Amino acid sequence: MIELKNLRKDYTNENNTSQIVNIFHLRIEDGEKVALMGASGSGKTTFLNLISGLVNADSGEIIVADQSLCSLSEARRDQFRANNIGYLFQSFHLLDGYSALENVELGMLFAEGVVNRQQAIDELSQLGLQDRLNHYPSQLSVGQQARVALARATVNRPRVILADEPTGALDSSNADEVIKLLFDHNERHGSTIVCATHDYELAAKFDRTINVSELR
């Protein structure tokens, strides 16, 4: 479950202050698949970063998986995120000097500090990458890179998966495949999914759509 109460985040530069997130109350249930809609610059990424604990709120409360993130130190937030939240980035953020398998193993290392290589292999194999385990990102197609990033986000069986425009860099075929695999993970493990997108067709596939502009 994700619950946001009186949540506010502003950004200030030398000229003015911009209100990016201002939410009185929002609740997302366990296992729910939610599409977060909004134009570029509307605050979708900030919204996800607040939920993940990557960004501190100016005020309010963020509860994820029964834990109040605002009460945690930065180090404890990082540990909580590693154990409970998977993050799928539009640009994938794979490390060029590491193989597909090693990129997924790093995700495990950040969580428990222990790598289960067979679990990482199984996760990649479920995504059709069993013959690409030792390939580096530069040796993979864009669609394969997206699946490695998805495996890294899901290998720890997170309670929440955050996806920031996960299909933005993909053609329609690969985009459909990534969303199908994401939904398959939801079916198997019950992870809550919050996906930022500006694609109405994609948003229609989710249980619920939230428009960022309507939260203010």
Q: Give 107-151 pLDDT, tens digit per residue.
A: 888 776 778 999 999 999 999 999 999 999 999 999 999 999 999
Pairing assessment for the beta strands 33-37 and 208-211 based on DSSP bridges: parallel
- Does pLDDT of 12 surpass 90? no
Please give the pLDDT value at position 216.
Answer: 64
What mean pLDDT value characterizes the chain? 92
Radius of gyration of the chain measured on its C-alpha atoms: 17
pTM value? 0.92
What does the chain look like in DSSP terms, one character per residue? Answer: -EEEEEEEEEEE-SS-EEEEEEEEEEEE-TT-EEEEE--TTSSHHHHHHHHHTSS--SEEEEEETTEEGGGS-HHHHHHHHHHHEEEE-TT----TTS-HHHHHHHHHHHHHS---HHHHHHHHHHTT-TT-TT--GGGS-HHHHHHHHHHHHHTT--SEEEEESTTTTS-HHHHHHHHHHHHHHHHHH--EEEEEES-HHHHTTSSEEEEGGGG-
Structure tokens at 138: 């530069």
Q: Domains (ranges, CATH) in the chain?
A: 30-58+65-215 (3.40.50.300)
Give CA torsion, residues 74, 25, 30, 83, to 10 deg: 0
Compute the C-alpha angle 48/53/56, nearest 5°: 95
Q: Give 169-213 pLDDT, tens digit per residue.
A: 899 999 999 999 999 999 999 999 999 998 999 999 999 999 987
